[in-house]
Amino acid sequence: MNRVGARQAVSSRTRPVLSGLMPSLPVWFHRWGSPPHVYRLADRLRPWLGWIAALLIAGGAFAGLVLAPPDYLQGDSFRIIYVHVPSAYLGMMAYVLMAAAAAVGFVWRIKLGHAVAVSAAPIGASFTFLALVTGGIWGKPTWGTYWEWGDARLMFELILLFLFLGYLALRAAFDDQDKADRVSAILAVVGVINVPIIHYSVEWWSTLHQGPTISKLDSPSITMDMLAPLLVMIVGFTLCFAWLVLNRLQGQIVERERDARWLRQLVTERTR
């Protein structure tokens, strides 16, 4: 069989199966796994994400720090919520994204999955660190302590930081990138159990940390003038996170595809 014949034989074997229900799925899947496509998409999205995030964070910070009323009990110290809650939420979201991307990379051998996981890890670690620090700063004037060993919410949040750092350290221990991808993906998936534990820790155990305020969708226990800036900050932080991840993802793609022809073409186009 010649080459053309072989190709036809392959396509006639795969097409009827896939074209029945979802004709575009293989194309879609292929595109999302394709580094040049994702690299160019990131190029287009990045400025939008960055600028909208900056606007939302600036507006949300002004609204939260200046326009929102002080709390009846905590006064102005409650305002750190506008940094603390988005950071804590993004730390957990970053972990879920990292674990899901690493699992996709592991199961379907898509390098881009691992590239996304590696991109999200240090940013998730930073947000988790920020959540721990702002939580301590908030805790001192309200609870009377920066940190309480033995509080379940605080402990599991610290474990989240260690999981991010462990993922990165484990990767660094391998010289071979493929091996680092595969082994670290398993750690990422194992650690994902921590995310629901963090979320429910304040309900399952008696903790110094108070219960959830805004994730009770039916009746958030915060007034609208205090909640609106918080929601703006959450959206702004999320877009900022996406912007940071795309920046790092592009770097990851360049590093992983450094011998690819499309990249060499792109570089000559841009340096000309």
Partner 1 sequence: MTPRRRRMLLIGSVLLGVVVSAGLALRAFEQNLLYFFSPSEVAAGEVPSERAFRLGGMVLDGSVEREAGSLTVSFVVTDYAHQIPVTYTGVLPDLFQEGQGVVARGRLDPSGHFAAEEVLAKHDENYMPPEVAEAVARGREAQGQ
Positions in the binding site for partner 1 (CB under 8 A): 69-74, 78, 81, 103, 106-109, 141-145, 148, 150-152, 185-186, 189-190, 192-193, 197, 204-208, 210-213, 221-223, 225-226
Other Cβ atoms closer than 10 A to 175 = 7
CA pair distance 77, 129, nearest whole angstrom? 20
Q: How far is the CB of 71 from partner 1 (least distance, A)?
A: 5
Nearer to partner 1, 47 or 69 (CB): 69
Contacts of 223 (CB under 8 A, 6+ apart): 69
Nearer to partner 1, 210 or 265 (CB): 210
Closest alpha carbon to 125 in 207, 243, 43, 244: 244
Residue 110 or 242: which CB sits closer to partner 1? 110
> 11 or 145, CB closer to partner 1?
145
Dist CA 111 CA 113 (whole Å):
5
| Minimum separation from the CB atom of position 210 to partner 1 (A) | 4
For the bound state, the minimum distance from the C-beta of residue 135 to partner 1, rounded and expressed in Å, comes to 13
* Joined tokens for residue 111: 């390098």
Of 46 and 182, the one with the shorter C-beta distance to partner 1 is: 182
Min dist CB 242 to partner 1, Å, is: 25
Nearer to partner 1, 178 or 225 (CB): 225
Name the one residue in this structure whose structure tokens are 């809650």. Answer: 85
**What distances in angstroms separate CA 173 from CA 37, 170, 176, 237, 256, one per listed residue?**
30, 5, 9, 31, 18
- Minimum Å distance from CB 75 to partner 1? 9
Q: List residues bridging with 71 in a β-sheet.
A: 75
Assess contact for 22 and 198: CB atoms under 8 A: no
Query: What are the CB-based long-range contacts (under 8 Å, 24+) for 68-76?
Result: 68/225, 68/226, 68/229, 69/223, 69/225, 69/226, 71/226, 74/141, 74/142
Least distance between partner 1 and beta carbon 263 (Å)? 27
